[in-house]
Every structure is written in structure tokens, then in C-alpha cells.
Structure 1
Amino acid sequence: MKFIVLQRDDIENFIHVEQAQIHDLINEDHQNELAHILDYTNHMEQLQFIKKSSTLLPKGLRLLYIPPLKELGITTGETSVTLEWTGLEEDTLYIIQDEEPLKLRITNPKAGVFYKTLA
């Protein structure tokens, strides 16, 4: 699994932030939520699983996890999950800090995203 931290940038819209900055965003209060999303198979009731084609995520600090394709029943092709200006990769946990709502698009009906708002 990969971690990717995304932060809005005025010029490039979204930029990947160095992983060292994860600790600046995820403090001790958030460790429980991070553990839940990483162990989503045992904590599904505490997470939101989004399958809708278009969803507006509220502003703030968010965790998004794209499960591996085979766990979603997808055998070939892309997950077709995008977050406004950037495509999202499978088996990747995204930590997103942004003060604007974000539009999540899912174009493959089998694809989905585990989601949690932290603050």
C-alpha cells in the first residue's frame, strides 16, 4: 500500500506533499481513524464507502483509501476514480488537507472509495 498526501496548490491545483509531512497532518487524536481505514475490513461500519458516480466531499482533513482492484471485483482496467484534477490509484491511502470541498468522481460502477473526514 502507498501513502500519498495531497494539498491544494494555487498554481498546480493539487501537489503531492512529502510523506514526512504526514505527521504534521495526522496527530495522535487521528491515529484511531487512520488505523480503522487501514484495517477497513474489520471497521467498515465506522467508515463511509462511496460508490456514487459523483460526490462532494466537505472541506478539511480527509482520508481516502482505494482498495485493490480484485477486492472490488474488477479484473482489468482502471478503477476510474478521480478527485477533481487528479486520478487516484488503487491500494493507496490518500491524506488530503484542503479548505475547499472536493468533487470525487467514480466512473466504474464496481469501483469505490473508503472515506473518513477527520477535521
Structure 2
Amino acid sequence: MRAKGNEGEELAANTLKQKGFSVLERNVRFSVGEIDIIAQKGTSLYFFEVKFRGQHALAGAIEVITHHQMKRIRRAASLYLMKYEKKKGEIPMAFLGVVAIDGQGNVEIIEDAFE
């Protein structure tokens, strides 16, 4: 299953690059959770959760993210932003997003999924 996840994350990262994002980091772990992909577009940072779904199941990718998972992603993003602020001296606009991939390799990017 992890191999499928790695494959999905690679496809997600490549698609984000094609859409004008710069992928800064992948699989960033904190004690409170993990962020699959951290990307930048313009002056904004994006924290993406990658969801690989079965055949033709792009719709519903957000629905499978539990409240607990959202909370962990938010906490991890907050820690990353604190680290970023110390390094850069500012906090950028930040968004929590989802990259959904179906069994056919179709990709949907939802840039502000949790708001």
C-alpha cells in the first residue's frame, strides 16, 4: 500500500509543478502529524494532503479525511509556519489543500479544502 502512496505522491507533486507550484518539501513529519506536500505559489504556502482513491472516485476525497486528520494537518502546518517565520521573518498566506487521485491517474487539486 505504501508503494501506491509513494506513486500517488509523485504524481501529485508533478501535477502541482505543472500547475505553477514550487514543491518545497515532501513528507514533513512533526510529533503532531505529517504533511504530504508543502508547496509555494506566488507568495502563498500550501500544505497538501494527498488522497489516492479507487476507480473514478475523485469526488469524495475530502470526505474521507476525518476531523482528527484535519486537526493533525492543521497542527503540523502551524508548526511549519512557526519554523518558517523564524527563518524568513514573516508568515506567508497559507492554505490547506487536498490532491485527489483516482485509479485512472486523474488528478484534482483543491487548493483551500478545509475552510
TM normalised by structure 2 equals 0.29
Q: Answer 1 or 2: which has greater strand percent.
A: 1
TM normalised by structure 1 equals 0.28
Q: Which is bigger in relative contact order (C-alpha 8 A, separation at least 6)?
A: 1
Q: Answer 1 or 2: which has greater helix percent.
A: 2
